[in-house]
Amino acid sequence: MSKFVAKPANSFSGHLKVPGDKSISHRSIMLGSLANGITKISGFLEGEDALSTLKAFQAMGVKIERNGDNVTIYGVGLNGLKKPLAPLNLGNSGTSIRLISGILAAQTFASELCGDESLSKRPMSRVINPLTKMGAVIESNDGKLPLKIKGGQILKGIHYDLPVASAQVKSCVLLAGLYAQGETCIKETAPTRDHTERMLKGLGYKVGVNRNKICLTGGAQLSAFAIQVPSDISSAAFFMVAASIAPKADITLTGVNINPTRTGVIDILKLMGANLSLSNKREIGGELLADIRIQSARLKGIHIPENLVPLAIDELPVIFIAASCAKGETILTGAKELRVKESDRIQVMADGLNILSIENEVLEDGIKIQGGVFLKPNVAIKSHHDHRISMSFAIASLRCHHDIEIEGVDNVKTSFPNFVELANFSGMNITEI
Protein backbone atom coordinates (compact mmCIF):
# COMPACT_ATOMS: atom_id res chain seq x y z
CA MET A 1 0.00 0.00 0.00
CA SER A 2 1.58 3.30 -1.03
CA LYS A 3 1.70 6.34 1.24
CA PHE A 4 2.53 10.04 1.14
CA VAL A 5 5.07 11.50 3.49
CA ALA A 6 4.39 15.23 3.46
CA LYS A 7 7.05 17.40 5.04
CA PRO A 8 6.37 20.96 6.20
CA ALA A 9 6.58 23.53 3.42
CA ASN A 10 6.02 27.22 3.65
CA SER A 11 6.21 28.59 0.16
CA PHE A 12 3.56 27.99 -2.41
CA SER A 13 3.63 29.85 -5.69
CA GLY A 14 3.64 29.61 -9.47
CA HIS A 15 1.51 29.36 -12.60
CA LEU A 16 -0.03 25.92 -13.03
CA LYS A 17 -2.35 24.01 -15.29
CA VAL A 18 -4.12 21.13 -13.57
CA PRO A 19 -5.28 18.15 -15.70
CA GLY A 20 -8.51 17.88 -17.66
CA ASP A 21 -11.95 17.71 -16.10
CA LYS A 22 -12.91 14.18 -15.10
CA SER A 23 -16.66 14.56 -15.65
CA ILE A 24 -16.18 16.07 -19.11
CA SER A 25 -13.53 13.47 -20.05
CA HIS A 26 -15.94 10.61 -19.23
CA ARG A 27 -18.74 12.17 -21.22
CA SER A 28 -16.50 12.95 -24.20
CA ILE A 29 -15.66 9.25 -24.56
CA MET A 30 -19.26 8.11 -24.11
CA LEU A 31 -20.88 10.62 -26.45
CA GLY A 32 -18.00 10.52 -28.96
CA SER A 33 -18.44 6.74 -29.17
CA LEU A 34 -22.19 7.07 -29.75
CA ALA A 35 -21.85 9.86 -32.31
CA ASN A 36 -21.67 9.48 -36.06
CA GLY A 37 -18.22 10.47 -37.30
CA ILE A 38 -14.81 11.17 -35.79
CA THR A 39 -14.57 13.03 -32.47
CA LYS A 40 -11.25 14.59 -31.55
CA ILE A 41 -10.67 15.34 -27.87
CA SER A 42 -7.84 17.45 -26.48
CA GLY A 43 -6.97 17.91 -22.81
CA PHE A 44 -8.41 14.49 -21.92
CA LEU A 45 -7.77 13.45 -18.30
CA GLU A 46 -5.22 10.63 -18.31
CA GLY A 47 -6.50 9.40 -14.94
CA GLU A 48 -7.57 5.84 -14.22
CA ASP A 49 -11.28 6.70 -13.94
CA ALA A 50 -11.51 8.31 -17.37
CA LEU A 51 -9.37 5.49 -18.78
CA SER A 52 -11.85 2.96 -17.34
CA THR A 53 -14.55 4.58 -19.46
CA LEU A 54 -12.26 4.62 -22.51
CA LYS A 55 -11.42 0.92 -22.12
CA ALA A 56 -15.11 0.00 -21.65
CA PHE A 57 -16.01 1.54 -25.01
CA GLN A 58 -13.02 -0.10 -26.68
CA ALA A 59 -14.32 -3.40 -25.26
CA MET A 60 -17.64 -2.62 -26.95
CA GLY A 61 -15.98 -2.39 -30.35
CA VAL A 62 -15.29 1.36 -30.60
CA LYS A 63 -11.95 2.30 -32.15
CA ILE A 64 -10.34 4.86 -29.85
CA GLU A 65 -6.77 6.10 -30.29
CA ARG A 66 -4.92 7.98 -27.56
CA ASN A 67 -1.77 10.01 -27.77
CA GLY A 68 -1.24 11.53 -24.31
CA ASP A 69 -4.20 13.79 -23.67
CA ASN A 70 -5.30 13.78 -27.31
CA VAL A 71 -7.93 11.18 -28.11
CA THR A 72 -9.57 10.28 -31.42
CA ILE A 73 -12.84 8.35 -31.37
CA TYR A 74 -14.28 6.70 -34.44
CA GLY A 75 -17.94 6.94 -33.43
CA VAL A 76 -20.17 3.96 -34.11
CA GLY A 77 -23.52 5.76 -33.83
CA LEU A 78 -26.16 5.16 -31.15
CA ASN A 79 -26.79 1.58 -32.25
CA GLY A 80 -23.28 0.50 -33.17
CA LEU A 81 -21.95 -0.85 -29.85
CA LYS A 82 -21.00 -4.53 -29.72
CA LYS A 83 -21.48 -6.99 -26.86
CA PRO A 84 -18.30 -6.98 -24.73
CA LEU A 85 -16.61 -10.38 -24.43
CA ALA A 86 -16.18 -10.12 -20.65
CA PRO A 87 -17.80 -8.17 -17.78
CA LEU A 88 -16.88 -4.48 -17.91
CA ASN A 89 -14.71 -3.59 -14.92
CA LEU A 90 -15.02 0.12 -14.14
CA GLY A 91 -12.47 0.10 -11.31
CA ASN A 92 -13.05 2.91 -8.81
CA SER A 93 -15.25 5.02 -11.05
CA GLY A 94 -18.82 5.76 -9.98
CA THR A 95 -19.36 8.09 -12.95
CA SER A 96 -18.36 5.38 -15.44
CA ILE A 97 -20.60 2.72 -13.98
CA ARG A 98 -23.68 4.87 -13.41
CA LEU A 99 -23.62 6.58 -16.80
CA ILE A 100 -22.71 3.46 -18.77
CA SER A 101 -25.57 1.51 -17.16
CA GLY A 102 -27.97 4.01 -18.76
CA ILE A 103 -26.50 3.27 -22.18
CA LEU A 104 -26.31 -0.50 -21.66
CA ALA A 105 -29.90 -0.76 -20.39
CA ALA A 106 -30.99 0.12 -23.93
CA GLN A 107 -28.73 -2.22 -25.93
CA THR A 108 -29.83 -5.35 -27.75
CA PHE A 109 -27.15 -7.39 -25.94
CA ALA A 110 -26.76 -8.46 -22.30
CA SER A 111 -23.90 -7.05 -20.23
CA GLU A 112 -22.34 -7.20 -16.79
CA LEU A 113 -20.69 -4.37 -14.87
CA CYS A 114 -18.33 -4.64 -11.90
CA GLY A 115 -15.72 -2.55 -10.07
CA ASP A 116 -13.19 -2.43 -7.24
CA GLU A 117 -13.85 -2.89 -3.52
CA SER A 118 -14.91 0.74 -2.96
CA LEU A 119 -17.23 0.86 -5.99
CA SER A 120 -18.74 -2.48 -4.94
CA LYS A 121 -19.92 -0.87 -1.68
CA ARG A 122 -21.64 2.09 -3.35
CA PRO A 123 -25.40 2.35 -3.93
CA MET A 124 -26.58 1.45 -7.42
CA SER A 125 -30.33 1.33 -6.74
CA ARG A 126 -30.38 5.06 -7.51
CA VAL A 127 -29.82 4.14 -11.19
CA ILE A 128 -31.51 0.72 -11.19
CA ASN A 129 -34.84 2.25 -10.04
CA PRO A 130 -35.37 4.81 -12.81
CA LEU A 131 -33.95 2.47 -15.49
CA THR A 132 -36.38 -0.25 -14.37
CA LYS A 133 -39.22 2.28 -14.65
CA MET A 134 -38.12 2.83 -18.25
CA GLY A 135 -38.39 -0.90 -18.93
CA ALA A 136 -34.83 -2.08 -18.33
CA VAL A 137 -34.19 -5.42 -16.65
CA ILE A 138 -31.24 -5.26 -14.22
CA GLU A 139 -30.15 -7.75 -11.59
CA SER A 140 -27.90 -6.59 -8.76
CA ASN A 141 -26.51 -7.78 -5.48
CA ASP A 142 -29.16 -6.07 -3.34
CA GLY A 143 -28.62 -2.68 -5.00
CA LYS A 144 -24.83 -3.14 -5.20
CA LEU A 145 -22.45 -4.49 -7.85
CA PRO A 146 -22.24 -6.54 -9.96
CA LEU A 147 -25.00 -5.33 -12.25
CA LYS A 148 -26.36 -7.78 -14.80
CA ILE A 149 -28.25 -5.96 -17.53
CA LYS A 150 -30.51 -8.19 -19.61
CA GLY A 151 -30.59 -6.12 -22.80
CA GLY A 152 -33.05 -6.48 -25.64
CA GLN A 153 -35.69 -4.33 -23.90
CA ILE A 154 -37.58 -1.50 -25.54
CA LEU A 155 -37.26 1.48 -23.20
CA LYS A 156 -39.95 4.11 -22.81
CA GLY A 157 -39.42 7.71 -21.73
CA ILE A 158 -40.28 8.63 -18.13
CA HIS A 159 -40.81 11.77 -16.09
CA TYR A 160 -38.52 11.33 -13.13
CA ASP A 161 -38.10 13.46 -9.99
CA LEU A 162 -34.54 12.90 -8.82
CA PRO A 163 -34.66 11.72 -5.18
CA VAL A 164 -31.06 12.88 -4.57
CA ALA A 165 -29.07 15.74 -6.07
CA SER A 166 -26.95 13.59 -8.39
CA ALA A 167 -25.56 14.41 -11.82
CA GLN A 168 -24.67 10.75 -12.27
CA VAL A 169 -28.28 9.64 -11.89
CA LYS A 170 -29.55 12.52 -14.04
CA SER A 171 -27.03 11.68 -16.77
CA CYS A 172 -27.77 7.95 -16.60
CA VAL A 173 -31.48 8.55 -17.22
CA LEU A 174 -30.81 11.11 -19.99
CA LEU A 175 -28.47 8.67 -21.77
CA ALA A 176 -31.09 5.90 -21.56
CA GLY A 177 -33.58 8.51 -22.80
CA LEU A 178 -31.60 8.83 -26.06
CA TYR A 179 -32.87 5.32 -26.88
CA ALA A 180 -36.32 5.50 -25.29
CA GLN A 181 -39.65 5.87 -27.02
CA GLY A 182 -41.06 9.34 -26.41
CA GLU A 183 -39.93 12.02 -24.01
CA THR A 184 -37.73 11.61 -20.92
CA CYS A 185 -37.79 14.43 -18.37
CA ILE A 186 -35.82 14.81 -15.15
CA LYS A 187 -36.67 17.21 -12.36
CA GLU A 188 -33.82 18.16 -10.03
CA THR A 189 -34.20 19.13 -6.38
CA ALA A 190 -31.06 21.25 -6.70
CA PRO A 191 -28.85 22.11 -9.67
CA THR A 192 -26.09 19.57 -10.32
CA ARG A 193 -23.30 19.57 -12.90
CA ASP A 194 -24.81 19.90 -16.37
CA HIS A 195 -21.98 18.66 -18.60
CA THR A 196 -24.14 15.92 -20.15
CA GLU A 197 -26.79 18.42 -21.23
CA ARG A 198 -24.18 20.84 -22.60
CA MET A 199 -22.28 18.17 -24.51
CA LEU A 200 -25.43 16.60 -25.95
CA LYS A 201 -26.38 20.03 -27.28
CA GLY A 202 -22.83 20.45 -28.64
CA LEU A 203 -23.26 17.20 -30.56
CA GLY A 204 -26.49 18.51 -32.08
CA TYR A 205 -29.02 16.74 -29.82
CA LYS A 206 -32.07 18.77 -28.79
CA VAL A 207 -32.25 19.08 -24.99
CA GLY A 208 -34.90 21.26 -23.36
CA VAL A 209 -33.84 22.91 -20.11
CA ASN A 210 -36.45 24.85 -18.20
CA ARG A 211 -35.26 25.82 -14.72
CA ASN A 212 -34.92 22.50 -12.84
CA LYS A 213 -36.47 20.35 -15.58
CA ILE A 214 -34.44 18.73 -18.35
CA CYS A 215 -36.16 16.92 -21.25
CA LEU A 216 -35.13 15.10 -24.38
CA THR A 217 -36.85 12.82 -26.87
CA GLY A 218 -35.30 9.53 -27.98
CA GLY A 219 -34.52 8.55 -31.52
CA ALA A 220 -32.36 11.41 -32.85
CA GLN A 221 -28.66 11.17 -33.72
CA LEU A 222 -25.41 12.62 -32.36
CA SER A 223 -22.90 14.29 -34.71
CA ALA A 224 -19.20 14.14 -33.86
CA PHE A 225 -17.27 17.33 -33.15
CA ALA A 226 -14.05 18.53 -31.51
CA ILE A 227 -14.04 18.63 -27.70
CA GLN A 228 -11.50 20.64 -25.73
CA VAL A 229 -11.53 19.51 -22.09
CA PRO A 230 -10.86 22.38 -19.64
CA SER A 231 -8.90 21.92 -16.39
CA ASP A 232 -10.84 20.27 -13.58
CA ILE A 233 -12.01 22.68 -10.86
CA SER A 234 -12.13 19.69 -8.47
CA SER A 235 -8.36 19.24 -8.91
CA ALA A 236 -7.77 23.01 -8.90
CA ALA A 237 -9.58 23.15 -5.52
CA PHE A 238 -6.63 21.48 -3.74
CA PHE A 239 -4.37 24.29 -4.94
CA MET A 240 -6.95 26.97 -4.11
CA VAL A 241 -7.09 25.81 -0.51
CA ALA A 242 -3.30 25.30 -0.44
CA ALA A 243 -2.65 28.88 -1.51
CA SER A 244 -5.26 30.21 0.92
CA ILE A 245 -3.74 28.50 3.98
CA ALA A 246 -0.01 28.73 3.14
CA PRO A 247 1.90 31.80 4.30
CA LYS A 248 2.98 34.16 1.49
CA ALA A 249 1.39 32.07 -1.26
CA ASP A 250 0.52 33.33 -4.72
CA ILE A 251 -0.67 30.89 -7.32
CA THR A 252 -2.42 31.16 -10.68
CA LEU A 253 -4.34 28.21 -12.11
CA THR A 254 -4.93 28.57 -15.82
CA GLY A 255 -7.84 27.43 -17.99
CA VAL A 256 -10.05 26.11 -15.16
CA ASN A 257 -13.64 25.11 -15.91
CA ILE A 258 -15.95 27.55 -14.11
CA ASN A 259 -19.27 26.03 -15.19
CA PRO A 260 -21.70 27.60 -12.69
CA THR A 261 -22.82 24.12 -11.53
CA ARG A 262 -19.25 23.49 -10.31
CA THR A 263 -18.13 26.74 -8.67
CA GLY A 264 -19.38 26.15 -5.12
CA VAL A 265 -15.78 25.90 -3.91
CA ILE A 266 -15.04 29.43 -5.14
CA ASP A 267 -18.14 30.83 -3.42
CA ILE A 268 -17.42 28.97 -0.17
CA LEU A 269 -13.76 30.03 -0.05
CA LYS A 270 -14.77 33.64 -0.76
CA LEU A 271 -17.31 33.53 2.08
CA MET A 272 -14.46 32.29 4.29
CA GLY A 273 -12.42 35.35 3.30
CA ALA A 274 -10.18 33.85 0.60
CA ASN A 275 -8.13 36.16 -1.59
CA LEU A 276 -9.22 34.79 -4.93
CA SER A 277 -9.82 36.44 -8.29
CA LEU A 278 -10.87 35.27 -11.74
CA SER A 279 -9.52 36.67 -15.00
CA ASN A 280 -9.42 35.90 -18.72
CA LYS A 281 -12.95 34.43 -18.69
CA ARG A 282 -13.80 32.72 -21.96
CA GLU A 283 -16.13 30.12 -23.42
CA ILE A 284 -14.81 27.04 -25.22
CA GLY A 285 -17.07 24.32 -26.61
CA GLY A 286 -20.05 25.30 -24.46
CA GLU A 287 -18.05 25.40 -21.19
CA LEU A 288 -16.81 28.49 -19.32
CA LEU A 289 -13.12 28.80 -18.38
CA ALA A 290 -11.06 31.28 -16.37
CA ASP A 291 -7.64 31.74 -14.84
CA ILE A 292 -7.85 31.76 -11.06
CA ARG A 293 -5.35 33.62 -8.85
CA ILE A 294 -5.24 32.79 -5.15
CA GLN A 295 -3.09 34.39 -2.48
CA SER A 296 -2.74 33.71 1.24
CA ALA A 297 -5.62 34.88 3.40
CA ARG A 298 -6.86 34.79 6.97
CA LEU A 299 -9.85 32.49 6.63
CA LYS A 300 -12.82 32.62 8.95
CA GLY A 301 -15.29 29.88 9.87
CA ILE A 302 -18.76 29.98 8.27
CA HIS A 303 -22.00 28.01 8.12
CA ILE A 304 -21.71 26.70 4.56
CA PRO A 305 -24.96 27.60 2.73
CA GLU A 306 -26.74 24.33 1.88
CA ASN A 307 -27.47 25.47 -1.67
CA LEU A 308 -23.72 25.45 -2.34
CA VAL A 309 -23.29 21.82 -1.23
CA PRO A 310 -24.17 20.08 -4.56
CA LEU A 311 -22.08 22.71 -6.38
CA ALA A 312 -19.01 21.80 -4.30
CA ILE A 313 -19.71 18.17 -3.50
CA ASP A 314 -16.29 16.80 -4.49
CA GLU A 315 -14.40 19.74 -2.99
CA LEU A 316 -15.81 19.47 0.54
CA PRO A 317 -12.97 17.29 1.93
CA VAL A 318 -10.36 19.93 1.08
CA ILE A 319 -12.72 22.66 2.33
CA PHE A 320 -12.56 20.81 5.69
CA ILE A 321 -8.80 21.50 5.63
CA ALA A 322 -9.50 25.19 4.94
CA ALA A 323 -11.98 25.14 7.87
CA SER A 324 -9.32 23.59 10.13
CA CYS A 325 -7.06 26.59 9.42
CA ALA A 326 -9.84 29.19 9.74
CA LYS A 327 -10.65 31.34 12.77
CA GLY A 328 -13.73 30.02 14.54
CA GLU A 329 -16.21 27.33 13.68
CA THR A 330 -17.29 26.03 10.27
CA ILE A 331 -20.55 24.13 10.04
CA LEU A 332 -21.56 21.90 7.15
CA THR A 333 -25.07 20.46 6.94
CA GLY A 334 -27.14 18.98 4.09
CA ALA A 335 -24.21 16.92 2.84
CA LYS A 336 -25.30 13.34 3.56
CA GLU A 337 -24.24 12.36 0.02
CA LEU A 338 -20.63 12.64 1.20
CA ARG A 339 -21.14 9.38 3.07
CA VAL A 340 -21.60 7.40 -0.18
CA LYS A 341 -18.63 8.66 -2.15
CA GLU A 342 -15.39 6.70 -2.69
CA SER A 343 -15.36 6.51 1.14
CA ASP A 344 -17.62 7.88 3.88
CA ARG A 345 -16.02 11.28 3.48
CA ILE A 346 -17.57 12.77 6.63
CA GLN A 347 -16.28 10.05 8.96
CA VAL A 348 -12.94 9.47 7.20
CA MET A 349 -12.13 13.21 7.21
CA ALA A 350 -13.18 13.49 10.88
CA ASP A 351 -10.89 10.57 11.80
CA GLY A 352 -7.97 12.25 10.00
CA LEU A 353 -8.69 15.64 11.61
CA ASN A 354 -8.73 13.93 15.02
CA ILE A 355 -5.24 12.54 14.31
CA LEU A 356 -4.11 16.12 13.61
CA SER A 357 -5.85 17.34 16.84
CA ILE A 358 -8.50 19.43 15.09
CA GLU A 359 -11.65 19.57 17.18
CA ASN A 360 -14.70 18.43 15.25
CA GLU A 361 -18.17 16.99 15.68
CA VAL A 362 -19.62 14.56 13.17
CA LEU A 363 -23.25 15.19 12.21
CA GLU A 364 -25.43 12.77 10.29
CA ASP A 365 -25.39 15.08 7.27
CA GLY A 366 -22.24 17.09 7.84
CA ILE A 367 -19.64 18.19 10.36
CA LYS A 368 -18.67 21.03 12.71
CA ILE A 369 -14.98 21.97 12.63
CA GLN A 370 -13.20 24.30 15.06
CA GLY A 371 -10.28 26.07 13.42
CA GLY A 372 -7.04 25.31 15.23
CA VAL A 373 -3.48 24.17 14.82
CA PHE A 374 -2.37 20.86 13.31
CA LEU A 375 -0.41 19.09 16.08
CA LYS A 376 2.16 16.35 15.61
CA PRO A 377 0.31 13.14 14.70
CA ASN A 378 1.24 9.87 16.41
CA VAL A 379 -0.06 7.66 13.63
CA ALA A 380 -0.55 7.77 9.87
CA ILE A 381 -3.80 9.18 8.49
CA LYS A 382 -5.88 6.56 6.69
CA SER A 383 -7.32 7.71 3.37
CA HIS A 384 -9.37 4.53 2.89
CA HIS A 385 -8.01 4.53 -0.67
CA ASP A 386 -10.05 7.66 -1.44
CA HIS A 387 -8.13 9.97 -3.80
CA ARG A 388 -9.69 13.19 -2.51
CA ILE A 389 -8.99 12.32 1.15
CA SER A 390 -5.33 11.61 0.33
CA MET A 391 -4.85 14.90 -1.50
CA SER A 392 -6.77 16.92 1.13
CA PHE A 393 -4.50 15.80 3.96
CA ALA A 394 -1.40 16.32 1.81
CA ILE A 395 -2.48 19.97 1.48
CA ALA A 396 -2.71 20.23 5.29
CA SER A 397 1.10 19.83 5.42
CA LEU A 398 1.40 23.49 4.35
CA ARG A 399 0.38 24.40 7.90
CA CYS A 400 2.22 21.63 9.75
CA HIS A 401 5.53 21.88 11.61
CA HIS A 402 6.16 18.14 11.38
CA ASP A 403 5.84 15.37 8.83
CA ILE A 404 2.48 13.78 8.22
CA GLU A 405 1.92 10.38 6.68
CA ILE A 406 -1.13 9.45 4.66
CA GLU A 407 -1.75 5.79 3.90
CA GLY A 408 -3.46 4.29 0.85
CA VAL A 409 -2.77 7.03 -1.68
CA ASP A 410 -2.70 4.74 -4.74
CA ASN A 411 -6.03 6.05 -6.04
CA VAL A 412 -4.81 9.63 -6.46
CA LYS A 413 -4.07 8.54 -10.01
CA THR A 414 -7.79 7.99 -10.67
CA SER A 415 -8.36 11.75 -10.93
CA PHE A 416 -5.06 13.67 -10.61
CA PRO A 417 -2.10 11.58 -11.80
CA ASN A 418 0.49 14.39 -11.54
CA PHE A 419 -0.71 15.79 -8.19
CA VAL A 420 2.60 15.21 -6.37
CA GLU A 421 4.62 16.64 -9.24
CA LEU A 422 2.55 19.86 -9.41
CA ALA A 423 2.37 20.22 -5.62
CA ASN A 424 6.15 19.88 -5.29
CA PHE A 425 6.72 22.21 -8.26
CA SER A 426 4.74 24.84 -6.32
CA GLY A 427 6.87 24.44 -3.20
CA MET A 428 5.41 21.51 -1.29
CA ASN A 429 7.49 18.57 -0.14
CA ILE A 430 5.59 15.32 -0.69
CA THR A 431 7.20 11.94 -1.28
CA GLU A 432 5.24 8.89 -2.33
CA ILE A 433 6.67 5.64 -0.97
Q: For ligand S3P, which stretch binds (CB under 6 A), given 134-142, 147-155, 163-171, 296-304? A: 163-171
Indicate the helix (H) or strand (E) that contains 82: none
Residue among 111, 168, 244, 360 that touches ligand S3P (CB under 6 A): 168
Q: Does 31 bind ligand S3P (CB under 6 A)?
A: no
Spell out the residues 6+ positions from residue 253 whose beta carbon is closer than 8 angstroms to its own: 16, 17, 18, 231, 236, 239, 240, 291, 292, 293, 294
* Cα–Cα distance for residue pair 110/87, rounded to 1 Å: 10
- Positive/negative CA dihedral, 306, 312, 317, 323: negative
* Cα–Cα distance for residue pair 261/310, rounded to 1 Å: 8
Q: For ligand S3P, which stretch binds (CB under 6 A), given 55-63, 162-170, 235-243, 299-307? A: 162-170
CB of 195 to ligand S3P, least distance (A): 7
Q: Are 6 and 404 in contact (CB under 8 A)?
A: yes
- Positive/negative CA dihedral, 424, 428, 429, 433: negative
Cβ-based nearer residue to ligand S3P, 168 or 390: 168
CB of 7 to ligand S3P, least distance (A): 30
Residue among 33, 89, 95, 244 that touches ligand S3P (CB under 6 A): 95
Q: Which of 116, 194, 314, 386 is catalytic?
A: 314
CB of 229 to ligand S3P, least distance (A): 13
Residue among 193, 198, 368, 399 that touches ligand S3P (CB under 6 A): 193
314 is catalytic: yes
Residue among 171, 252, 259, 324 that touches ligand S3P (CB under 6 A): 171
* Cα–Cα distance for residue pair 24/31, rounded to 1 Å: 10
Beta strand 111-114 with 88-89 is parallel
* Cα–Cα distance for residue pair 80/86, rounded to 1 Å: 18
Residue among 104, 313, 358, 428 that touches ligand S3P (CB under 6 A): 313
Cβ-based nearer residue to ligand S3P, 314 or 386: 314
Q: Which residues are catalytic?
A: 314
Binding site for ligand S3P (CB under 6 A): 23, 95, 166-168, 171, 193, 313-314, 337
